[in-house]
Amino acid sequence: MGLVGAVLTKLGNTISIAMIFLMLVPTLGAVIPVDAEVSETSEAGWWVDTTVDRNKNGIGDMIERHIDNPILLSEGTLPIIVDFDHTPDETDVIMLEQQVDYEHQFYLPAIDAVAGRVPVALLNEATELPGVVMLELDGIMTIQNGDAVALHGVDTAWDETGYDGSGSTVAIIDTGIDGLHSSLDDQDDDPETNDPKVVAFYDPVNNPSLTNGTEVFPYDDQGHGSHCAGTTAGTGAPTYENPGMAPQAKLVGVKVLDSGGSGSFAVVMAGMQWTIDNRYQYNIRVASMSLGAFGIIEWTSSEEDSVNRMANDMVYNDITLFIAAGNSAGRGTIGTPGSAEDAITIGALDKDSSIAAYSSQGPTEENRVKPNIAYVGSDVMSVAHNTGDGYTAFSGTSMATPGAAGVAALMLQANPDISPFEVRNFMQETAEYRACTYMGDAAGIDGCDDNDAQNIITKNRQNNVYGHGEVRALESVLAAAEKYYTFDSSMQIAIDSDPTHDNSHTHLTPKDAIKFTTTGGIETIQWRSNHIVDDWTNLHSYEKTDTDGNIAAIDIIHQLEHLPGINLDGNHTISIRGLQSNSSGGHSSSPLVTIDIMLMDTASAFIPESEETPAFTFLAVSVASAIALFVNQRKSELDSIYEED
Residues known to be catalytic = 174, 224, 398
**How far apart are the C-alpha atoms of 113 and 84, rounded to whole Å?**
6
Which residue, among 434, 403, 399, 407, has the nearest Cα to 423 in the 3D structure?
Answer: 407
Which residue, among 427, 401, 423, 398, has the nearest Cα to 318 in the 3D structure?
Answer: 423
Q: Are 3 and 11 in contact (CB under 8 A)?
A: no
Paired sense of beta strands 198-202 and 113-119, if any: unpaired
**351-376: b (≥16 Cβ within 10 Å) or e:** eebbbbbbbbbbbbbeeebbbbbbbb
Paired sense of beta strands 391-394 and 524-529, if any: unpaired
**How far apart are the C-alpha atoms of 148 and 23, rounded to whole Å?**
73
Q: Are 85 and 236 in contact (CB under 8 A)?
A: no
Which residue, among 239, 225, 236, 226, has the nearest Cα to 158 in the 3D structure?
Answer: 236
**How far apart are the C-alpha atoms of 227 and 324, rounded to whole Å?**
14
Q: Are 428 and 467 in contact (CB under 8 A)?
A: yes
Q: Which residues contact 308 (CB under 8 A, 6 or more apart)?
A: 301, 302, 336, 337, 339, 340, 341
Paired sense of beta strands 537-538 and 506-508, if any: unpaired
Residues comprising the chain, all counted: 645
Which residue, among 44, 565, 47, has the nearest Cα to 309 in the 3D structure?
Answer: 47
CB count within 10 Å of CB 511 equals: 11
**How far apart are the C-alpha atoms of 515 and 509, rounded to whole Å?**
14
Q: Is 383 exposed, middle or buried (0-12, 13-18, 19+ CB in 10 A)?
A: buried
**How far apart are the C-alpha atoms of 151 and 407, rounded to whole Å?**
13
Q: Are 168 and 413 in contact (CB under 8 A)?
A: yes
**How far apart are the C-alpha atoms of 264 and 262, rounded to whole Å?**
7
Q: Are 525 and 542 in contact (CB under 8 A)?
A: yes
